[in-house]
Amino acid sequence: MLKKYEKFLEAFDNELRGYFSEHKEYLKCKKGCTDCCEKGEYPFSRLEAEYLMYGFVKLPEEIKSEIRENIRELKIAEKNFNGERFLYKCPFLVNYACALYERRGIVCRTFGLAYLREDNTIQLPNCTNLGLNYAQQYNKETGEIFLENPVKKELTIDKILRSNQAEKYELECGEIRPLIEWF
């Protein structure tokens, strides 16, 4: 199944490169920017979590140890959390970089892009409010977004992993949960 998923990712990444290219004038993403990795739920399917962990076992022991400690601290924080949504720093973020970048999930691959939702509204990335991606196209006061060409495909993990493209690769993705729940 992981081989099929890798083939799917190859096709999906090609599609994403086109989206990122079309939107490059709006994007401020650059190496070292970790805003999207600092606070989220990071929904991952069972298949994505398996793929991620397959890469984890191949990491150098010192990196694995740091990630294990990050996970341990997150699990403690989650246990003591009383709010609605537990948002956290991704445990695979090490020294301002993803320790498993090549194996990152769909949610990570699509971070930063604005896209059209099913209800025909535009979903902006969280970093827009920080003056980053699409900030010049968004009016905070009115809530208006000035985009000539948003991504026409809904870029949620649920839609992507249940798309015709995913079906073509006969993927069995399993349930989708916040990353921290897979540990």
Q: Which amino acid is at 74?
A: L
Q: How high is the mean pLDDT of the chain?
A: 90
Question: Global pTM?
Answer: 0.89
Q: What is the pLDDT of residue 102?
A: 95
pLDDT band at 7 (very low <50, low <70, confident <90, very high): very high
DSSP-based three-state secondary structure for 73: helix
Distance CA 29, CA 35 (A): 9
Long-range (24+ apart) CB contacts under 8 A made by 136-141 are: 136/26, 137/26
Q: What is the pLDDT of residue 93?
A: 96
Is the pLDDT at 148 greater than 80, yes or no? no
pLDDT band at 140 (very low <50, low <70, confident <90, very high): confident
Distance CA 136, CA 128 (A): 9
Is the pLDDT at 88 greater than 80, yes or no? yes
User: What is the percentage of the chain residues whose pLDDT exceeds 70?
Assistant: 100
Beta strands 97-98 and 115-116: pairing type? unpaired
Distance CA 172, CA 143 (A): 38
Would you call 34 exposed, middle or buried from its count of C-beta atoms within 10 A (0-12, 13-18, 19+)? middle
Query: In this structure, are residues 88 and 40 in contact, taking their beta carbons and an 8 Å threshold?
Result: yes
pLDDT band at 73 (very low <50, low <70, confident <90, very high): very high
Among 17-31, 81-95, 149-163, the range scoring the smallest mean pLDDT is 149-163
pLDDT band at 4 (very low <50, low <70, confident <90, very high): very high
